[in-house]
Structure 1
């Protein structure tokens, strides 16, 4: 009988990502007997193939760019600089391994936590199977993450994903990237700065479809200024392997057939949740059309006692949203039960250089609300600190509800944008009037000091 060998726990966590690990430790602190199941490496996307490794590469690419840009700042450098991708990868691997070891130690050191290695699948709404083991709990937390989505027709074409490109030890001679959003554009600039000839193919009419077209056009300008070729409106994409080495990608642009070839192909056309790998139908779990697990504002699925956190619930595909899912869950289990998904303000960054920081709504989204709006935009080229650093690309912009005086959204695309956006975000969480920032005194000389000046220029938008 299968019940004879069932292992029972107070909670089962599937996936050791940025929600699963801290949740396991929080449950253990409350003396829950916890099983945490992981089929791959500890740490989830952020540690292994996301934030930690890619931002390490961004730093190396930035150093290469700084050297090439040094003459513009009056610094003469040798022409024989060399990029060593093997060394860059070694540094990245060291950072990743340090994080993994830290996570493993924290989990292993807790007597309340049992680590279970393998792929988990549901048997029913309280039992899961991992290899030959059967685990049972009335509280199951899913933190299973997501994986690269490969377009139909490219399965048999030699390609890289956001994971496998991090394993290269030689800079590609020519890199074709399919997908003009966050992942694709970050790798485009990284490898261009490291020495690759890069082409980005995007099916949409402009890059980063979630952003306003003005932002997209500025991002494209930044990339093209660095000699990255960007082709938007590329339809009917097909790929094939070259007989010798490399790939050929054919597409239609403006009704004409075109093709390009490269030594390497990166597919960055989005990600799909790993929910399907769980056999969710066995537990009766409902999925959205895109495969995400449906959740309530308290992260509970349609099945009582089963919760979905992180990328697999479709409520944010970022480390900070995943960790916030943990915070909501911890509050619902052991706190005053006041925290929910409804409290969260959208915010993210695009880590090209200069970076884009976004908080709240885009201008297009704000217009859809029907509210009376105030809006202003300032080019980075008007900001002294940006001029002094020799980094004048980009803008700052802000959208305000004219009636409540609260900030609805802001974007900082330019030097320090990923950090500066936090000023707007803090005001938004505090539900402050924009006048609080307008009347503030910010440190000179910084980019942030121009926020009051920016807000002085707010003007109504006609409906």
Structure 2
């Protein structure tokens, strides 16, 4: 007889959600976690970074108080206090996950887990190893930051996201290598906190997975804030010293310069945590990028072994991992969950201004053969945005001209990370342009721009 119906290896937003859903469905569940309940997202990623960015946002508003008819004198930032607040929020949520484990009667085993056979897993803590058995095992081990071979993170001058969240000091001159969500968020945070920030991106535009118009707008906005952004650029040698880092940068035109920075953040992607967890012995084969291959329910090629989250295929997002966890748990419990469509997974970047999107970009839609109708409404035409003092940005919608299907939505501006879910629901429910047009949007709100963007795609825009 097995110890458990299900063991989940890893307690990030995929793992702990899978465990809770399985427990709700009547399964006897355990989690094996090597470090912190809640995983990277809750402890070192999504949540604490948003706490840092909130502090930077408040600091930015204080510095621009005069624009709101207010006076704020002697403004300064205490980085130790900012970090302390962020860590406190992470701790609070970590304790919240521990409470959820108890509430749902999920057994937590702290230690390094390793699969030894189908249905068998060991965990090691303080040199002691125990074996557990289960009818099913979900691998939810997540991923870690990818190092540059020539720029190994040392936590002093060369940082990953983890070092960047607990700085001893604000960098004076910061280089961010990579302009995906993580890179741009830290660039935005440190720029708002007073650092001189340079971003180097090897692709021809920043946030390259986003719509080209969003990338162009964001680059212009960040440059206006004082950032030095270099696209189609590369990094050569990276040489740290006690006081600075010397970096070779190859520009778009091929010219190579050597520049000095106080600190460097490497944000060039992730590496899945697949080492030393027994995959080879079980015959589980990762893909070329070392991510575990699964079917739409999360099954691997070995019966009873499942995988979810960043250790599997992209997009590598916390909310995607959580949804996969629910799907896998329901399938394990004998249900028939609906497979997830990657095009219905929203992406959010919490820089200043924010970026959010779901579905196909205009270019990708055309590449796929669609004849499209596109609507684009600026924040400048929205009363609430003007009243907030946040009149920069736009909302873009892409529709299939033939069927009226919403193919994609792309936003840049204040609070768009909250607005995007309206379009995500619409895509999931397979709504067409008429459904959005006939929906009443409250006034005055930023959401009215969503309505106007749809109307604009069909030549019916009111306020522009």
State the TM-score, normalizing by the size of structure 1.
Answer: 0.92
Residue 368 (structure 2) pairs with residue 369 (structure 1): yes
Say if 2:343 and 2:358, in contact at 8 Å, map to a contact too: no
Q: Aligned match of 1:137 in 118, 134, 137?
A: 134
Say if 1:439 and 1:452, in contact at 8 Å, map to a contact too: no
Aligned residue in 1 for 2:92: 98
Figure out how many residues of one structure are paired with residues of the other and give that number.
452
C-alpha separation between the residues in 2 aligned to 1:109 and 1:229?
A: 49
Q: Aligned match of 2:48 in 53, 59, 72?
A: 53
Say if 2:204 and 2:231, in contact at 8 Å, map to a contact too: yes
Say if 1:372 and 1:402, in contact at 8 Å, map to a contact too: yes
Q: Aligned match of 2:152 in 155, 159, 165?
A: 155
Say if 2:27 and 2:333, in contact at 8 Å, map to a contact too: no
Aligned residue in 1 for 2:249: 251
CA apart distance, 1:140: 0.8
Aligned residue in 2 for 1:117: 110
Aligned residue in 1 for 2:346: 347
**Residue segments in structure 1 that go unaligned for 5+ positions in a row:** 1-5
SS of residue matched to 2:391: coil
CA apart distance, 1:410: 0.6
Say if 1:175 and 1:198, in contact at 8 Å, map to a contact too: yes
1:91-240 aligned within 5 A:
91-108=85-102, 111=105, 113-131=106-124, 132-155=129-152, 158-240=157-239
Greater Cα shift, 334-343 or 360-369: 334-343
CA distance 1:277–1:358, change in 2 (3 Å): farther
Greater Cα shift, 91-100 or 440-449: 440-449
CA distance 1:307–1:263, change in 2 (3 Å): same
C-alpha separation between the residues in 2 aligned to 1:333 and 1:307?
A: 9
Say if 2:201 and 2:232, in contact at 8 Å, map to a contact too: yes
C-alpha separation between the residues in 2 aligned to 1:115 and 1:442?
A: 45
Greater Cα shift, 372-381 or 330-339: 330-339
CA apart distance, 1:380: 2.1
Deviations 1:317-372 (A, max 9, x none): 21211111122123323464031124861211111122112111111111122122
State the TM-score, normalizing by the size of structure 2.
Answer: 0.92
**Residue segments in structure 2 that go unaligned for 5+ positions in a row:** 460-464
CA apart distance, 1:228: 1.2
Say if 1:310 and 1:322, in contact at 8 Å, map to a contact too: yes
Residue 256 (structure 2) pairs with residue 262 (structure 1): no
CA apart distance, 1:233: 1.8
Deviations 1:432-455 (A, max 9, x none): 221122233321222222333322
C-alpha separation between the residues in 2 aligned to 1:15 and 1:115?
A: 10
Deviations 1:287-318 (A, max 9, x none): 11111110101110111111111111124321
SS of residue matched to 2:175: strand
C-alpha separation between the residues in 2 aligned to 1:450 and 1:179?
A: 31
CA distance 1:379–1:32, change in 2 (3 Å): closer
Say if 2:384 and 2:444, in contact at 8 Å, map to a contact too: yes
SS of residue matched to 1:276: coil
C-alpha separation between the residues in 1 aligned to 2:7 and 2:333?
A: 17
